[in-house]
Structure 1
């Protein structure tokens, strides 16, 4: 027998239901009030809503207005609403919040119809775009369900506040600048556009926008890199939603669904891209500058964080010339390393290099592996055993990185035998550095050799001695016997050597002596002008490392950086004016306010006449001297001056080339000076450094858009040149002078 439910029971059950609903609603209101009164923690203040915190990458911008790198904790770069394609907005709204323009932060209609939407295929999440923005900006992640409920209610209140403080366009822009797109720490639509399609947000097509907007709810499972089929399915769903909401026709949606993903995947990483060494040096310089100059945020208290505050760092680097410099280095260093490996093949390093064991010990003690093992408390014997136990590792080669199994101690040998190289190229008139290649591979060899490292400069120092002589009236046509010389100076005696095969016999001009890099004539000139004026000139021309006033500095026994030496040679090309090599132009905050402007120092290091005469002498190096292979092998025939440099035992190879518009310095050598080519034919700067200059300049000249003209020569000073450069005329003058002196003696 079925019991009948009385009218009374129905009313009683209804009352229970209503009491539960009323109690739930009251609890909800109480919770909202408690949260509004900040009982469960602070809500974002008005100021925070006006200036929401979201980590933004700082951009490194080249002189030709290209972003060549970012500094970031989260790789995010903000854009404005005008920089967004309508396709991005339409895809976002259609997928995430179809009633975005109708609600005021909370879509109650949507909240109560989520189930219905999903049943008919219009998949919708539970949060509006504004609520998601509130979550992105002001909510920390938690796995506690009670805390998450509190957070959700806070997001509702914050969403309403955001709607009151921002326009719909501003909310969309803020949201798209904060979204996580997964791969390689990519945040924001700008970084995502560049990473996945190598484009900008204003150029995204409907299918590209659909792919990116489809990733928002699951950047991992909808990754086009790791899960391409999931990404296609999700993209096509977004395209269908765009069609349903009237942003695309059915035909357009079907057309875009049929397209492949079309990725141009270019992940951003600190080890990738161009100018990696430069960006590392720049970061340290900017951080130091912000501290030293006490550049603070508008509150007058907080310091800027380069990885979080979205600064814009404008540099002098030309992205195209930087690319050319890196290509020239990679092209030739691959060949040179092959020469080096063949040169040492079958030869015992232990027998040929007396200091080799010491070099390995030092390399081991400086390694990350050794430091880590020491921190673990390992003994020296245990560490030695570890270094002699084969392990898997990744090594750099000029044919690409390779995974191999090797003893760590053998990997140190391998790295010690890798040639290193550095290049810097600058405009001598402005001081602007156009290209900076600090090493061969930043991921594997972090040390920057342009500015941070110094090496013995060899014969690239010789022009400084000749410049002092020219300032004292010496003509390049002056003739000097090329014979051994001994110099006594401050109680010391110095007799330079000269390679028999390289020595030009007889009486030669100063121009020939510099062109052929003759040690004895250079020492003769040093003895005439004395060391102190030469050392003073070197310092005046921007060399910051120690330069002792000894006679031997005329042959380059002091150390200097590529940065300083290239800057010094720029004074020859710039009428004697040394303009400080400059790579930083200005720093702006994320709103475009200028925080710092750089003004290079300018010093009149040489008089204009001397500088011009030195360009004539340096052109002799290319026309008839150690730099002649620039003409012979590389067929670069336009006006160029330069100087090769090779240090003792061929440990360092240099070439510094000058034109009226560009000065470029290049160094090549191993990490340790005791490891080097065993023959001057291979180890001289003409073989290790000059070819990279040739490859770089040929690329630069081929691109007329760069404005570096081939047939521009150095211009004489307006005051004229009193020093005779015509050696025939000089001989006649000397002959006449000698005859007058004879008559006077008579």
Structure 2
């Protein structure tokens, strides 16, 4: 019977066909195994797996500020994977994980027969965790209609090899470190930090089930975008855990009662906390790691996007949050006042020169120009409206707008910069480069140089005191025309020009009197002022003209902050410190910033104490009294306001014994200033950011060592030399004797307390 059966021609044909299929499959499999469809990693290569990892940027307390990556991935060890997380994965993705050798043969055959023979693309993949790991590690290639089969077989070969090399625990660890989650996030540790702001080891059962559930389709089950859908998928995971005995039905039901509660963290370069600071760190890392002293053991350079470095910085994440809150609170109000003050006459609407020059800077304009379009054609193209998201303080809006509409929209915005330094060592504690990094990437701390206004005056007065001018020297406030300087006539804010009124240096600086600042720089010598400013940490070139006394020079915000640290750091400027150390992904030290301070004092301690008293007066009785009156701050604070010509820039420097803060506000288009001094002066535009910042840290006991710190008591000599009336008016005797005493006589009479003490400053008053 069997002979007759096999002699049947149709049976023979079927057997031959079956044999051909087997031979074809074996040949097909062999072709893949031998690498005809692309090389397959060897066991040796698999044993040396290296995965790209994100570089972590940490604050001073090792809290995560952000990451630098192509793929957002952080490694985690098996011991830090909670059991319910592993159970959720196995129950949902691969219930026979601990039994197979990396491949579920039944699933593989189902894919082959149903997909190839029956063309059933919905038959599913039946992937094991190890197969998924192989896919995660090496990706998939496009092989046309045979793509899914070729890729599956390749992955099965890799999976079997991995199972021979690694334990099940190792495979789970690699899987959790490489699997893609929602929002371009790779690995469970990164996903846990991003979605729940906690390390993976601290995930609850419900949170673990949520993340595991998203693996089925990480966009469709993204808990940020689709919370309800994600929650339903989470519940499926929990039901699977019950089905396979990993949790009781009671515990699963309790977990299902909770809605998904995200604590989403933005670690992308454009978002999250301190984006300008993180961008600055990235640039500094590039510079540090290109040095041959910081190479990998194999002699190659570290890659900050792939090598999983840990960068320890000086920033304080809590202080940074307070700074950003303070900036946003003030800038939103100031922007509204700024726009209201201009009304329909705003330069971003009416000034054709400004609009035209900025139009020509647009990338789109330049691209169309290169393509040979006429000005009319370019204009027409730039006027085409489309949907776009525009930045607004009251919430971003998607509107229909043209490129030129967008240009006008962004031209109106004020921008801001702020840095807070620990003066004892230069550590950067807070750093704001602009109002929103997503839309304004220009960093006003690291890149911008603007006229600094009256914040330059302390350099002038410091040079004067250091070169022998006594603190109680008086100068007249009256205007003087300098005929040797093109008849330049410096003027005072508010029209102050009384010919008989004389201010002491302390009064003149604290009230920011322009006429006296110019007289002081002419008296002490412009060269000496510039020399001292450089000793104090100003690196920019400074033009040798008397107008620098009024802050006409363009300086960087961070170099200004550096110079001011000298007033509370033994007369020595503190170099801003960003990075303390760098480690590789295994915790090995690559780089350490040695905090050696060999900078000599820029001036005497006597001068430092005198200047500090001058700048305390700015807060207590001068141009910055709103620190006390409006904001009610009682901290020990010294400082200086600054406003530039035509109200283009507003500045404030706040000095406390343990923190030096500089804030700036202005328009990126330097031809657009504030409409009036009332709005644009530093005391109104920049000071409130500092004040709000101080109020925030005052309310946090963590910063008591900073907020309750006191300035040292000045030496007796300093107090004695400052013991004079702030204002003197020329009287009959002063006018009578004016011109009859030289400098030595004035000093002698002042010591005696005689009538000639009124005449101190005669030489300074001669213009």
For the criterion TM > 0.5, the same-fold answer is yes
Superimposed CA distance per residue, residues 380-407 of structure 1 (whole angstroms, 9 cap, x where no aligned partner)? 2211223344443322221111223344
Distance 1:544 1:600, change over 3 A: farther
Q: Equivalent residue for 1:120?
A: none
Superposed displacement of residue 113, structure 1: 9.6
Superposed displacement of residue 622, structure 1: 0.5
Q: Equivalent residue for 1:254?
A: 253
Superposed displacement of residue 144, structure 1: 2.6
Residues of 1 paired with 2:231 and 2:479: CA distance? 79
Q: Equivalent residue for 2:763?
A: none
Distance 1:387 1:39, change over 3 A: closer
Alpha-carbon contact 2:421-2:430 (below 8 Å) kept: yes
Distance 1:46 1:570, change over 3 A: farther
Alpha-carbon contact 1:701-1:708 (below 8 Å) kept: no
Aligned pair partner of 1:713 in 697, 706, 710: 710
Does 2:696 align with 1:699?
yes
Aligned pair partner of 1:648 in 624, 645, 650: 645
Aligned pair partner of 2:415 in 406, 420, 434: 420
Bigger shift: 616-625 or 251-260? 251-260
Alpha-carbon contact 1:483-1:520 (below 8 Å) kept: yes
Does 2:208 align with 1:219?
no
Q: Equivalent residue for 1:119?
A: none
Residues of 2 paired with 1:376 and 1:262: CA distance? 51
Q: Equivalent residue for 2:234?
A: 235
Residues of 1 paired with 2:75 and 2:497: CA distance? 63
Q: Equivalent residue for 2:612?
A: 615
Superimposed CA distance per residue, residues 694-734 of structure 1 (whole angstroms, 9 cap, x where no aligned partner)? 000110111111344333222368x9856744415999985
Superposed displacement of residue 26, structure 1: 6.3
Does 2:68 align with 1:77?
no
Q: Equivalent residue for 2:120?
A: none
Distance 1:175 1:537, change over 3 A: same
Residues of 2 paired with 1:659 and 1:720: CA distance? 22
Superposed displacement of residue 349, structure 1: 3.5
Q: TM-score, normalised by structure 2?
A: 0.86
Residues of 2 paired with 1:703 and 1:631: CA distance? 19
Alpha-carbon contact 1:60-1:313 (below 8 Å) kept: yes
Aligned pair partner of 1:546 in 541, 544, 547: 541
Distance 1:726 1:498, change over 3 A: closer
Bigger shift: 727-736 or 519-528? 727-736
Q: TM-score, normalised by structure 1?
A: 0.89
Distance 1:577 1:112, change over 3 A: same
Superposed displacement of residue 522, structure 1: 1.7
Q: Equivalent residue for 1:660?
A: 657
Alpha-carbon contact 2:561-2:661 (below 8 Å) kept: yes
Does 2:536 align with 1:537?
no
Does 2:348 align with 1:333?
no
User: What is the DSSP-based 3-state SS (H/G/I as helix, E as strand, rest coil) of the residue aligned with 1:366?
Assistant: coil
Alpha-carbon contact 1:194-1:200 (below 8 Å) kept: yes
Aligned pair partner of 2:495 in 489, 501, 508: 501
Alpha-carbon contact 2:650-2:681 (below 8 Å) kept: yes
Superposed displacement of residue 271, structure 1: 2.4
Residues of 2 paired with 1:224 and 1:637: CA distance? 46
Q: Equivalent residue for 2:119?
A: none
Distance 1:374 1:284, change over 3 A: farther
Alpha-carbon contact 1:468-1:529 (below 8 Å) kept: yes
Superimposed CA distance per residue, residues 276-326 of structure 1 (whole angstroms, 9 cap, x where no aligned partner)? 22222222232233235574333213x333223322222111111111111
Superposed displacement of residue 492, structure 1: 7.8
Residues of 2 paired with 1:635 and 1:232: CA distance? 48
Bigger shift: 635-644 or 94-103? 94-103
Residues of 2 paired with 1:716 and 1:50: CA distance? 66
Residues of 1 paired with 2:547 and 2:395: CA distance? 42
Residues of 1 paired with 2:229 and 2:636: CA distance? 60
Pairing 1:354-365 to 2, within 5 Å after superposition: 356-365=351-360
Superposed displacement of residue 660, structure 1: 0.8
Aligned pair partner of 1:392 in 384, 387, 391: 387
User: What is the DSSP-based 3-state SS (H/G/I as helix, E as strand, rest coil) of the residue aligned with 1:658?
Assistant: strand
Distance 1:387 1:472, change over 3 A: same
Superposed displacement of residue 623, structure 1: 1.0
Aligned pair partner of 1:675 in 672, 675, 699: 672
Q: Equivalent residue for 1:568?
A: 563
Alpha-carbon contact 1:476-1:617 (below 8 Å) kept: no
Residues of 1 paired with 2:20 and 2:346: CA distance? 88
Bigger shift: 251-260 or 535-544? 251-260
Distance 1:528 1:723, change over 3 A: farther
Alpha-carbon contact 1:393-1:405 (below 8 Å) kept: yes
Distance 1:47 1:666, change over 3 A: farther
Aligned pair partner of 1:735 in 746, 750, 762: 750
User: What is the DSSP-based 3-state SS (H/G/I as helix, E as strand, rest coil) of the residue aligned with 1:727?
Assistant: coil
Superposed displacement of residue 534, structure 1: 1.1
Distance 1:382 1:259, change over 3 A: same
Superimposed CA distance per residue, residues 517-549 of structure 1 (whole angstroms, 9 cap, x where no aligned partner)? 112222222122211121112122222222123
- State the Cα RMSD in Å: 3.3
Superposed displacement of residue 154, structure 1: 3.0
Superposed displacement of residue 661, structure 1: 0.7
Distance 1:626 1:692, change over 3 A: same
User: What is the DSSP-based 3-state SS (H/G/I as helix, E as strand, rest coil) of the residue aligned with 2:276?
Assistant: helix
Distance 1:611 1:143, change over 3 A: farther
| Structure 1: unaligned runs, 5 residues or longer | 116-122
Residues of 2 paired with 1:721 and 1:664: CA distance? 29
Aligned pair partner of 1:64 in 56, 61, 64: 61
Does 2:602 align with 1:578?
no
User: What is the DSSP-based 3-state SS (H/G/I as helix, E as strand, rest coil) of the residue aligned with 1:577?
Assistant: coil
Residues of 2 paired with 1:371 and 1:293: CA distance? 40
Does 2:163 align with 1:163?
yes
Pairing 1:289-308 to 2, within 5 Å after superposition: 289-293=288-292, 295-301=294-300, 303-308=301-306
Superposed displacement of residue 83, structure 1: 2.5
Residues of 2 paired with 1:558 and 1:508: CA distance? 25
Q: Equivalent residue for 2:427?
A: 432
Bigger shift: 12-21 or 277-286? 12-21
Aligned pair partner of 2:471 in 460, 473, 476: 476
| Structure 2: unaligned runs, 5 residues or longer | 113-122, 727-745, 758-767
Superimposed CA distance per residue, residues 436-492 of structure 1 (whole angstroms, 9 cap, x where no aligned partner)? 111112222221111100100010000001111222233323333333346688x88
Q: Equivalent residue for 2:737?
A: none
Pairing 1:482-497 to 2, within 5 Å after superposition: 482-485=477-480, 495-497=489-491
Distance 1:710 1:73, change over 3 A: closer
Residues of 2 paired with 1:29 and 1:393: CA distance? 56
Residues of 2 paired with 1:60 and 1:26: CA distance? 56
Alpha-carbon contact 2:73-2:190 (below 8 Å) kept: yes
Superposed displacement of residue 432, structure 1: 0.6
Count of matched residue positions in the alignment of Structure 1 and Structure 2: 724
Superposed displacement of residue 18, structure 1: 7.5
User: What is the DSSP-based 3-state SS (H/G/I as helix, E as strand, rest coil) of the residue aligned with 2:519?
Assistant: helix
Q: Equivalent residue for 1:172?
A: 172
Distance 1:740 1:458, change over 3 A: closer
Aligned pair partner of 1:309 in 307, 314, 317: 307
Residues of 1 paired with 2:699 and 2:748: CA distance? 44
Superposed displacement of residue 690, structure 1: 0.7
User: What is the DSSP-based 3-state SS (H/G/I as helix, E as strand, rest coil) of the residue aligned with 2:517?
Assistant: helix
Bigger shift: 36-45 or 415-424? 36-45
Does 2:93 align with 1:93?
no
